[in-house]
């Protein structure tokens, strides 16, 4: 009987320790950006879908200019600082007017 009680205590403590350890690892943050950026991404998304671009293969950037906002897709394996499209998937940009929220232009990046 003492062995059974000891076994239950050991198993319970191990399971409890595992649960505690699982909670001590913080969740991984994959993206943080101002909420206003979401508006521009949502507008550009229609262009991405029209071109059948798989956004899972890209890093998305939002660049605010004086009269427009540009939402860009760059390949996950692109070289930082390189000019043009340097990854396996071609880059793509959508320029949106701040005034009326309409797409001004969209094109692949060379």
Q: Are 61 and 41 in contact (CB under 8 A)?
A: no
Buried b (16+ CB within 10 A) or exposed e, 1-19: eeeeeeeeeeeeeeeeeee
- Is 20 a residue whose pLDDT tops 50? no
Task: Please report the domains of the chain, with CATH numbers, ordered by start residue.
Answer: 35-108 (3.10.450)
pTM, entire model:
0.72
Kindly state the DSSP code that residue 55 receives in the 8-state scheme: G
pLDDT at residue 39, as a whole number:
95
Q: Which tens digit of pLDDT belongs to each residue from 83-104?
A: 777 778 899 999 999 999 999 9
Q: Are 57 and 48 in contact (CB under 8 A)?
A: no
Mean pLDDT of the chain: 83
Confidence grade of residue 65 (pLDDT, cut at 50, 70, 90): very high
């Amino acid at each position: 009987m003492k062995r059974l009680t000891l076994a239950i205590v050991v198993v319970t403590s191990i399971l409890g320790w595992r649960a505690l350890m699982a909670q001590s690892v913080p969740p991984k943050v994959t993206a943080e950006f101002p909420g206003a950026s979401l508006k521009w991404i949502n507008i550009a998304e229609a262009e991405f879908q029209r071109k059948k671009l798989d956004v899972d293969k890209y890093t998305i950037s939002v660049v605010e200019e004086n009269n427009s906002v540009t939402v860009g897709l760059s390949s996950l394996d692109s070289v930082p600082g390189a000019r043009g499209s340097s990854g396996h998937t071609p880059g793509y940009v959508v320029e949106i007017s701040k005034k009326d929220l309409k797409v001004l232009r969209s094109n692949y990046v060379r």
